[in-house]
Structure 1
């Protein structure tokens, strides 16, 4: 039974960019090189400079040997998921549709918040009553 390869997004890989957690991406493959930092012949600063990034160009420019490429495989943790993110669907709402249910929405709101108008009317009546009583 073939083993399944874990897929990582570039966003996930970019979060691993410290000396305590160092990932690099080369040729669409993701490598956790945290334990290799001290052993890297070019120094840990080279790997840390590429941490959390696609380092394919830098890797190729350095002219790594076949042995280095074979050594790299022990740090392989998965592949880069290069499928584009889904495009969200837009909801198109016409102005006619927006006002079509307006009376029903007002009715629903008035049923839900009936206390406010009743309180306003009650307060108005109380103030009017007190005003008329004081006038006498």
Structure 2
């Protein structure tokens, strides 16, 4: 009888990103590493930095041993559901907002440019008046 594998979306996995609830996705499998944080040879901060994310590249780059890969099986809670939509990227700003921001910045620049020019102009006039009196 085949075992049923629980499927998790990346959105669901991303919600488990704290030291009290730490999930990591590696090679399409979801691992609950909460109970392993204190035992991880590289320290818990490495795992917490990858919590709630796909950490396949980081895991591969670290060069884990065969025994480490065997140990991972104990923490596997399911697989990543690749049919579920991924988390959408946040939109930084629209072009309209960017243009409005640029216009506001240009107007502020013009305002702040006028103040130093006025000060220099007044200084020149005062200087000329002072020199004429001597």
1:1-136 alignment runs, 5 A limit = 1-85=1-85
- Matched-pair contact (CA < 8 Å) for 2:9–2:84: no
TM-score normalised per structure 1: 0.62
Counterpart of 1:37 in 2: which secondary structure? Answer: helix
In the aligned structure 2, how far is the partner of 1:15 from the partner of 1:65?
A: 28
Counterpart of 1:47 in 2: which secondary structure? Answer: helix
Shift of 1:81: 0.2
Number of aligned residues: 85
The two structures, once aligned, show a CA RMSD in angstroms of 0.7
Shift of 1:43: 0.2
In the aligned structure 1, how far is the partner of 2:39 from the partner of 2:6?
A: 26
TM-score normalised per structure 2: 0.62
C-alpha distance 80-74 of structure 1, shift in aligned 2 (>3 A): same
Runs of 4+, deviation exceeding 3 Å:
none
C-alpha distance 54-81 of structure 1, shift in aligned 2 (>3 A): same
C-alpha distance 22-84 of structure 1, shift in aligned 2 (>3 A): closer
Shift of 1:84: 4.5
C-alpha distance 16-84 of structure 1, shift in aligned 2 (>3 A): closer
In the aligned structure 1, how far is the partner of 2:51 from the partner of 2:84?
A: 22
In the aligned structure 2, how far is the partner of 1:3 from the partner of 1:65?
A: 27
Counterpart of 2:77 in 1: which secondary structure? Answer: strand
